C-alpha cells in the first residue's frame, strides 16, 4: 500500500506532502507524489513541439507532468520513501485510478477555495476524488 499525495502547482502542495508524510510515517508506507497534467496542457506542448519540428513522446509528456512533484520533493525532503509520478488527463479521474491501481491506503488532497456557485459551475477535483475513491481521502482547507 501507499499514501498518494495528489498535488497541483500551488503553494498548498507543500501542505499535502507534509500531511502525506505524517501518514506514511505512522503506517510505514511510501508516499507517491502525483501531479496530473490536464489534456489541454499536453496538447499545447505537442502543438508547440510540432512548430519546432520536434515530436514529443508520451514518455516525455509524463516526465513533464511529473516535474512539479519532483521539484516539490527536491525542495521538501520527507525522510520517507517517495516516488514522483506524472499522469495526463482529467485530474480527478487520474487520481482515483492511480490510487486504485496502487491500492492506496489514503489519498491526501487540498481543495481550492471556491464559492458554492463556483463549485456548482466548475466542479471540484477534490469533491470528485472524495466521492469516487475506494480508500479514505484526507482533505484539508488552506489555513492562510
Section 84-92 average pLDDT = 96
> Stretch 64-81: mean pLDDT, rounded?
96
Band (pLDDT 50/70/90 cuts) for residue 122 is very low
Q: Which alpha helices (H) appear in 76-143, and where do they start and end?
A: 91-101, 116-122, 125-132
Percent of the chain's residues with pLDDT above 70: 85
Q: Residue 144 domain-assigned?
A: no
**Domain presence at residue 68:** yes
Q: What is the pTM of this model?
A: 0.88
Average the pLDDT over 60-75 and give the result: 95
Grid coordinates belonging to 48: 508547440
Nearby residues of 105 by Cβ (< 8 Å), 6 or more positions away: 1, 2, 3, 23, 27, 29, 135, 136
Tell me what pLDDT residue 93 has: 97
Asked whether residue 47 is domain-assigned, the answer is yes
Least confident of 13-22, 23-32, 56-65: 56-65
Supply 6's cell numbers.
495528489
Q: How many domains is the chain built from?
A: 1
Query: From the centroid of its chain, how far is CA 98?
Result: 10
| Banded model confidence at residue 4, pLDDT cuts 50, 70, 90 | very high
Q: What is the CATH number of the domain that holds 13?
A: 3.40.50.620
pLDDT band at 51 (very low <50, low <70, confident <90, very high): low
Containing domain of residue 67, as a range?
A: 2-139
Average pLDDT value for residue range 6-20:
94
Q: Is the pLDDT of residue 88 over 90?
A: yes
Round the average pLDDT of the chain to a whole number and report it: 88
Amino acid at each position: 500500500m501507499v499514501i498518494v499525495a495528489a498535488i497541483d502547482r500551488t503553494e498548498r502542495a507543500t501542505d499535502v506532502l507534509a500531511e502525506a508524510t505524517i501518514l506514511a510515517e505512522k503506517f510505514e508506507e511510501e508516499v507517491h507524489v502525483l501531479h496530473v497534467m490536464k489534456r489541454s496542457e499536453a496538447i499545447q506542448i505537442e502543438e508547440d513541439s510540432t512548430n519546432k519540428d520536434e515530436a514529443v513522446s508520451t514518455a516525455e509528456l509524463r516526465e513533464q507532468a511529473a516535474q512539479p512533484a519532483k521539484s516539490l520533493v527536491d525542495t521538501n525532503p520527507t525522510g520517507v520513501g517517495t516516488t514522483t509520478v506524472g499522469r495526463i488527463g482529467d485530474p480527478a479521474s487520474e487520481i482515483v485510478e492511480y490510487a486504485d491501481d496502487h491500492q492506496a491506503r489514503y489519498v491526501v488532497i487540498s481543495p481550492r477555495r471556491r464559492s458554492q456557485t463556483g463549485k456548482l459551475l466548475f466542479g471540484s477535483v477534490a469533491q470528485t476524488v472524495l466521492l469516487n475513491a475506494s480508500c479514505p481521502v484526507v482533505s484539508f482547507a488552506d489555513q492562510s
